[in-house]
Amino acid sequence: MNEILLLKLGEIILKGLNRRSFEQKLVGNVRRRLLGLGNFRVTCMQSTIYVEPQDETADMEAAFVAVQDIFGIVKISRAASCEKDRDAIVRLASEYLRDDLLRAKSFKVESKRSDKHFPMTSIQLSQYVGGELAERFPNCEVDVHHPELVVNIEVRDIAAYVHAAPVDGAGGMPVGSNGIAVSLLSGGIDSPVSTYMIARRGVRLIPVHFFSFPYTSQAAKEKVIELGRILTSYCGGMTLEVVPFTHIQEEIRDKCPEEYFTLIMRRFMMRIAERIALYNGGKAIVTGENLGQVASQTMEAMASTQAVISLPVLQPLVGMDKEEIVRMARKIGTFDTSILPYEDCCTVFTPRHPKTHPKLREVEQAESVLAVDALVDEAFENREQIRL
């Protein structure tokens, strides 16, 4: 039996003018996601992407799971195909959905027909196939209002397809269809989620991590690499930029008033992130900040942090509760890695009494003793790139 996957594209976006490039991006992303899972043919027709195994190397189970992470797809059906003939369709449905039909107490058939040359209307086809199946599976009666099982039939260009209920896709827009941004990736719970959320809007991301060796350990860096790897299932291949941050933090610690440590440090993060973004054609900075969660996440603190750059700062978690963020971290598979107990660079030099409502002028004053440009240059030049 020829089994294939039918991936339905997000519809709202398809109505726009960018439909072709949207589809091409998505087909490319699907092909890349299936690399290593065997030989598949991936094509797009009539707002549906077809994933067809080409030989026995193709791992359908793994592919079915993998495509559920790809942004831009709203529904996924695992279907079987046959020639466009009503009796062939009946035979296929009773074979392919046999277990479902034996288990269910009621069912209905829903047909779609994009091949308008097919000699029956959708309703006629549904009635015919429904009648035949009801005869073959007496345990299961037709119920058009509240069926336990829906047998879907699609008569398309080259073949007819039969499948049971589709599963939900990841939604969103295809990665690469909406520009590039830098995402600040710590080892915490929040920033992997913010990275995921912006990738879901079609943005290709460059994760940046600030690393304070030896105050933070090699294991802490490995943890961020692992988080980045988990995120590639959704974001596609990425290059993690690891920025040496120790010198900057030591300078701040030695020369600035303690209550401004975190704020000044965050201003450096923003400047360096912007440098990396501009260098790579990035148009925004993404952070996992969340209003009111910690001292550096008040509106005044955010203002003083963002004042040093001109790219927009995207904070997709800003209005979420911690519980919601945790739920999402679990769903996308980053939570268990995020809670591994390694120090983050922010916690190493945390002031005892951080300024929660800083005035921009005072922060600038506190920072003015530092050779800001030279420190930013040095960190930028010495960053390490890790292909994920």
Total site size for ligand ATP, rule CB under 6 A:
20
Q: Which two tokens stand for residue 90?
A: 């009946």
The rounded distance, in Å, linking the Cα atoms of 222 and 224 is 5
> Could you say which of Mg ion, ligand ATP, none residue 288 binds, taking C-beta under 5 to 8 angstroms by partner kind?
ligand ATP
Specify the 3-state DSSP secondary structure of 85. Answer: coil
Does the footprint of ligand ATP cover residue 149 (CB under 6 A)? no
Stretch that binds ligand ATP, among 16-24, 148-156, 162-170, 282-290 (CB under 6 A): 282-290
Does the footprint of ligand ATP cover residue 288 (CB under 6 A)? yes
Binding residue for ligand ATP, selected from 190, 241, 274, 367, defined by CB under 6 A: 190
The rounded distance, in Å, linking the Cα atoms of 105 and 147 is 8
Binding residue for ligand ATP, selected from 345, 366, 375, 376, defined by CB under 6 A: 345
Q: Which two tokens stand for residue 206?
A: 């460059």
CB of 339 to ligand ATP, least distance (A): 10
Whether 227 and 269 have beta carbons less than 8 Å apart is answered as no
The residues, ordered by sequence, that sit 6+ positions from 201 with a Cβ below 8 Å of its Cβ are 172, 173, 178
> Could you say which of Mg ion, ligand ATP, none residue 185 binds, taking C-beta under 5 to 8 angstroms by partner kind?
ligand ATP
CB of 144 to Mg ion, least distance (A): 53
CB of 290 to ligand ATP, least distance (A): 6
The rounded distance, in Å, linking the Cα atoms of 385 and 319 is 32
CB of 189 to Mg ion, least distance (A): 8
> Could you say which of ligand ATP, Mg ion, none residue 287 binds, taking C-beta under 5 to 8 angstroms by partner kind?
ligand ATP
- Write out the residues near Mg ion by the rule CB under 5 A: 186, 188, 344
Does the footprint of ligand ATP cover residue 270 (CB under 6 A)? no
The rounded distance, in Å, linking the Cα atoms of 207 and 224 is 10
CB of 216 to ligand ATP, least distance (A): 8
Binding residue for ligand ATP, selected from 344, 375, 376, 383, defined by CB under 6 A: 344
Binding residue for ligand ATP, selected from 191, 298, 304, 306, defined by CB under 6 A: 191
> Measured from the CB atom, is 29 or 195 closer to ligand ATP?
195
Stretch that binds ligand ATP, among 26-34, 84-92, 179-187, 253-261 (CB under 6 A): 179-187
DSSP state of 173: B
Query: In this structure, are strands 149-155 and 167-171 parallel, antiparallel, or unpaired?
Result: unpaired
Binding residue for ligand ATP, selected from 63, 89, 101, 184, defined by CB under 6 A: 184
Chain position carrying tokens 């960190």: 379
> Could you say which of Mg ion, ligand ATP, none residue 184 binds, taking C-beta under 5 to 8 angstroms by partner kind?
ligand ATP
Within the chain, strands assigned E span 2-9, 40-45, 48-53, 73-82, 106-113, 141-142, 149-155, 160-163, 167-171, 180-184, 204-211, 239-244, 285-286, 313-314, 384-387
- Residue 325: C-alpha distances to residues 191, 268, 288 (Å): 10, 26, 10
Does the footprint of ligand ATP cover residue 346 (CB under 6 A)? yes
3-class SS shares of the chain: helix, strand, coil, % to 5: 45, 20, 35
CB of 360 to ligand ATP, least distance (A): 18
Residues forming the site for ligand ATP (CB under 6 A): 184-186, 188-191, 208-210, 287-289, 293-294, 296-297, 344-346
